[in-house]
C-alpha cells in the first residue's frame, strides 16, 4: 500500500485524517510540545508527553546552558469491528532543546511527571543590575 493510499484509506474516520494533517503524524513531527512560564522566581517548562513511562522513556539533561528533553514512545491502538480487525503502532523518539536562564545550575533543577505532563523547574539566579555608566574621576598628573 502506498503512503498516499494509506493516508486516505477509506477505513479511516474523517476525524483521524484531520488529526493526522493538523496535529502531525509521529513520523512527521519529532519535536515535543512545551509551554514556558516564570513562577515564583523559577522557569517552569511543561512538556506534553502522554503515554510514556517517565522512569524508562524520558531523559532530561543540561549541557552548555541548554536544557534537553528526549523521550521515546511505543503506542499501540487496536480496533475490533464486525468483519475486521485493525491495529496501529506508533513508535518514535522526540526531542526538544531550550535555552536556560544565564547562570542556572543543573544541581538545582527538578523534574516531575504527572498525568502525561513533564514539569521541569529551573531556579532563575538573581542578576545584579548592571551599571549603565560610571563616572571616572580625572586627576591632574
- In 3-state terms, the chain is what percent helix, strand and coil (to 5)? 10, 45, 45
Helix count and strand count (H, E) for the chain: 2, 7
Task: Please give the domain boundaries of the chain with CATH numbers for all domains.
Answer: 1-28 (no CATH), 31-123 (2.60.40.790)
Q: Are 101 and 36 in contact (CB under 8 A)?
A: no
DSSP secondary-structure letter at 52? -
- Amino acid 82: pLDDT: 73
- Amino acid 44: pLDDT: 97
- The pTM assigned to this predicted structure is 0.63
**β-pair partners for 118:** 47, 113
Tens digit of each residue's pLDDT (9 = 90 or more) over 46-56: 999 988 899 99
The DSSP string of 97-110 is EEEPPTT--GGG-E
Tens digit of each residue's pLDDT (9 = 90 or more) over 83-118: 777 766 667 888 999 999 988 999 999 999 999 999
- Amino acid 116: pLDDT: 93
- Amino acid 141: pLDDT: 81
Confidence band (pLDDT; 50, 70, 90) for 134?
Answer: confident
- Quote the Cα angle for 133-135-137, to 5°: 160
What is d(CA 72, CA 59) in angstroms, rounded to the nearest whole number? 9
Mean pLDDT computed over 17-42: 70
Q: Are 73 and 91 in contact (CB under 8 A)?
A: yes
- Amino acid 4: pLDDT: 45
Residue 80 or residue 12, greater confidence: 80
Residue 5 or residue 51, greater confidence: 51
Amino acid at each position: 500500500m502506498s503512503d498516499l493510499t494509506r493516508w486516505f484509506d477509506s477505513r479511516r474516520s474523517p476525524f483521524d485524517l484531520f488529526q493526522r494533517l493538523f496535529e502531525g503524524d509521529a513520523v512527521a513531527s519529532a519535536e515535543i510540545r512545551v509551554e514556558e512560564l516564570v513562577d515564583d522566581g523559577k522557569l517552569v517548562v511543561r512538556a506534553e508527553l502522554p503515554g510514556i513511562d517517565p522512569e524508562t522513556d524520558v531523559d532530561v539533561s543540561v549541557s552548555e546552558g541548554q536544557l534537553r528533553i528526549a523521550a521515546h514512545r511505543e503506542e499501540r491502538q487496536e480496533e475490533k469491528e464486525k468483519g475486521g480487525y485493525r491495529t496501529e503502532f506508533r513508535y518514535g523518539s522526540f526531542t526538544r532543546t531550550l535555552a536556560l536562564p544565564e547562570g542556572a545550575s543543573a544541581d538545582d533543577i527538578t523534574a516531575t511527571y504527572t498525568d502525561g505532563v513533564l514539569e521541569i523547574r529551573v531556579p532563575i539566579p538573581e542578576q545584579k543590575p548592571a551599571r549603565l555608566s560610571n563616572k571616572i574621576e580625572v586627576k591632574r598628573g
